[in-house]
Copies of this chain bind each other. A is one copy, B any other.
Amino acid sequence: MLQSRIEVRPSRQLSPVAGHQSFAAENAAVAMGSRVTIPAGQTLFADGEAAKYCYKILSGGVRIVKLISDGRRQICEFALPGDTIGLEAGLTHDCSAEAVADTQVLRYSHAEVEAKLTHDPATAVKVCRILARNVEAARRRSAYICRMTAEEKIASFLLDLADRDEDDEDNDHVCLPMSRSDIGDYLGLATETVSRVLTRLRARKVIALIDTRDIKLLDRDALEDMRGGLAASSEIH
């Protein structure tokens, strides 16, 4: 069903770069938790592909993508350092995952995780929590994506990223590993709209663009006001 509509190809054909393709499937006999570096643009796994691995992000960033037939795409999630992706897969992945920048990950064998799941309650609980958090994250995102104006979306997005950024204590500094069009496809906005809103916020001195992909939050309160009352979630469990 899914396969018949969406063009699902093995990841090696999706990847435009020769010589670097197919990180997900190249080496089936890898020990659990091996560290892998994935260059920007590379596919970790593709929609419809057999689920061989899941990944914990160490650095960089990964976009979780769903494609619609005519070229439109929706980015369902940005996985940042500390996040684990691919666990939700059954036999096959239901989304593609692509590095938005050079990305380091820990790679786990999906089969082994599944096996462990059935024998080790502690693992099972951990997996459940990750999945529960994914559900929560996806829902919260729905809430702020569907019913908000472009400005509210961007404000929420920036605040979310600022709060998620692990190794940044002051929280007024956001690093965007992804492109404007990635942000657009995440928030349901045209690339141009993303750009325009950022420009507008800069003009109002709410943010400063240190660099295209590096933003400083000058007026957090203004952003919070824009967000429109959907507070960030507290932790689960």
Seen from chain A, the residues whose Cβ lies within 8 Å of a Cβ on chain B are 1-2, 4-6, 64, 66, 68-70, 72-74, 76-77, 87-91, 94-95, 117-119, 121-122, 124-125, 127-129, 131-132, 134-136, 138-148, 185, 187-188, 228-237
Contacts and interface: CB of A to CB of B under 8 A. Distances in A.
B127 A88 contact: no
A231 B2 contact: yes
B139 A76 contact: yes
B142 A68 contact: no
A68 B139 contact: no
Given A69-B228, A229-B69, A76 B2 contact: no
* Oligomer: number of copies: 2
Contact of A4 (B4, B138, B231): B231
A194 to B, nearest CB: 13
A1 to B, nearest CB: 5
Given A124-B128, A233-B2, A143 B94 contact: no
Contacts of A232: 1-2
A76 to B, nearest CB: 4
Contacts of A118: 121-122, 124-125
A208 B54 CA distance: 45
Shortest beta-carbon contacts, A-B, top 3 = A69-B229, A146-B188, A90-B236
